[in-house]
């Protein structure tokens, strides 16, 4: 009789124990959910100062122990997979290891300390010198091509400007029916035309980096000013104005005597 009575009592005690364990697990699950919500709203910004003095291997061992003790505790296991973390090294004196085992926030702090053991590490002098050398090499390689491209654009712009200037001189002679004098000066890098009409004088100075190299056909004194007369209804003189830049690029503006319009030609570098 005594044995039959003890069996129901032990069964009832086991049921009470299981129910209490279930309630405890439910409470822990609620706590863990609250911790997860707190982690989402408050992101991790720095590691605890107690972990800053550890080397990488000690921090890694502590985090592995914390993970192995925390995961079975969350899944509802009764015994941890590894030995519980009960004592701390000298570098962690004063640190709460129970919170490290049971608190997900402390576990995240430990993992953050392992990933970033020295968060205040800066740039060394050698790294800065290497970066400066790389930047200097890139600049030295790209600078000539950039300057050559800029000079080519300037040459094309100056050629178009000279062609428009010659066209204006021819149009002035035809529309006003008055002679126009065209002056080309290689020394001063300027072009000028004059007329008997008041206020009709125009002057063009070439930009920096563009040189008025020659006036074709070449005369006996290439550096002297060339003076040409444009007569109304007359034949336009067939001249060419050769321009060049600092990188050897050349273009010629020809004044066609048949049509009276200027045309531009590129000169290949030999």
We report the CATH number of the domain holding residue 195 as: 3.55.40.10
Q: Is there a domain that residue 170 lies in? A: yes
Mean pLDDT, range 97-115, rounded to an integer = 53
CA distance linking residue 161 with residue 207, whole number of Å:
11
Report how far Cα 262 is from the mean position of its chain's Cα atoms: 45
Does one domain contain both 157 and 92? no
Q: Is there a domain that residue 131 lies in? A: no
Does one domain contain both 73 and 18? yes
Does one domain contain both 88 and 165? no
Does one domain contain both 110 and 161? no
Q: Which of 112, 32, 96, 43 is nearest to 70 (CA)?
A: 32
Does one domain contain both 157 and 109? no
Does one domain contain both 164 and 247? yes
Residues 6+ apart with CB under 8 A from 251: 155, 156, 159, 242, 243, 264, 265, 266, 267
Q: Is there a domain that residue 122 lies in? A: no
Does one domain contain both 100 and 170? no
Q: Which of 120, 100, 102 is nearest to 111 (CA)?
A: 100
Q: Is there a domain that residue 214 lies in? A: yes
Per-residue pLDDT, 47: 43
Q: Which of 180, 170, 168, 161 is nearest to 241 (CA)?
A: 161
Q: Please check whether residue 233 is in contact with residue 138, taking contact to mean a CB–CB distance below 8 angstroms.
A: no
Supply the mean pLDDT for the chain: 75
Q: Considering only CA atoms, give the Rg of the chain.
A: 45
Does one domain contain both 104 and 170? no
Query: Can you give the chain as a three-state secondary structure string?
Result: CHHHHHHHHHHHHHHHHHHHHHHHHHHHHHHHHHHHHHHHHCCCCCCCHHHCCCCHHHHHHHHHHHHHHHHHHHHCCCCCCCCCCCCCCHHHCCCCHHHHHHCHHHHHHHHHHHHCCCCCCCCCHHHHHHHHHHHHHHHHHHHHHHHHHHHHHHHHHHHHHHHHHHHHHHHHHHHHCCCEEEEEECCCCEEEEEECCCCCCEEEECCCCCEEEEEECCCCCCCCCEEEEECCCCCCCCCEEEEECCCCCEEEEEECCCCCCEEEEEECCC
Helix (H) or strand (E) segment spanning residue 241: strand 240-244
This model's pTM is above 0.85: no
Per-residue pLDDT, 120: 59
Q: Which of 221, 191, 222, 192 is nearest to 206 (CA)?
A: 191
Q: Is there a domain that residue 100 lies in? A: yes
Residue 186 binned pLDDT confidence (cut-offs 50, 70, 90): very high
Domain closes at, from 59, 87, 115: 115
Q: Is there a domain that residue 224 lies in? A: yes
Mean pLDDT, range 76-99, rounded to an integer = 46
Position of tokens 């576990």? 107
Position of tokens 């296991």? 77
Q: Is there a domain that residue 143 lies in? A: no
Query: DSSP assignment, residue 49?
Result: G
Count of domains observed in the chain: 2
Does one domain contain both 255 and 201? yes
Q: Is there a domain that residue 84 lies in? A: yes
* pLDDT > 70? residue 92: no
Mean pLDDT, range 42-64, rounded to an integer = 51
Domain closes at, from 58, 85, 115: 115
Query: pLDDT tens for residues 17-47?
Result: 666 667 777 777 777 777 777 665 554 444 4
Q: Which domain holds residue 96?
A: 2-115
Query: pLDDT tens for residues 64-87?
Result: 665 555 445 544 544 444 444 444
Domain closes at, from 91, 115, 139: 115
């Amino acid at each position: 009789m005594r044995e039959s009575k003890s069996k129901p009592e032990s069964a009832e005690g086991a049921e009470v124990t299981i129910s209490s364990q279930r309630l405890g697990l439910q409470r822990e699950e609620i706590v863990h959910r609250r911790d997860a919500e707190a982690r989402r709203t408050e992101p991790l910004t720095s590691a605890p100062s107690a972990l800053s003095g550890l080397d990488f291997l000690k921090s890694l061992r502590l985090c592995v122990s914390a993970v192995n003790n925390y995961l079975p505790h969350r899944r509802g296991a009764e015994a941890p997979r590894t030995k519980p973390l009960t004592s701390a090294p000298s570098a962690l004196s004063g640190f709460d290891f129970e919170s490290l085992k049971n608190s997900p926030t402390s576990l995240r702090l430990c993992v953050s300390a392992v990933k970033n053991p020295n968060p205040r590490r800066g740039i060394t002098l050698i790294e800065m010198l290497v970066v400066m050398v790389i930047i200097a090499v890139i600049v030295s390689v790209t600078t000539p091509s950039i300057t050559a491209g800029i000079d080519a654009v300037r040459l094309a712009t100056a050629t178009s400007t000279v062609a428009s200037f010659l066209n204006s001189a021819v149009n002035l002679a035809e529309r006003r029916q008055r002679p126009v004098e065209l002056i080309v000066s290689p020394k001063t890098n300027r072009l000028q035309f004059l007329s008997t009409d008041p206020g009709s004088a125009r002057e063009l100075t070439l930009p920096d980096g563009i040189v008025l190299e020659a006036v074709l056909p070449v005369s006996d004194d290439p550096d002297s000013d060339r003076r040409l007369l444009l007569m109304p209804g007359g034949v336009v003189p067939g001249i060419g104005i050769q321009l060049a830049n600092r990188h050897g690029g050349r273009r010629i503006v020809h004044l066609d005597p048949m049509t009276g319009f200027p045309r531009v030609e590129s000169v290949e570098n030999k």
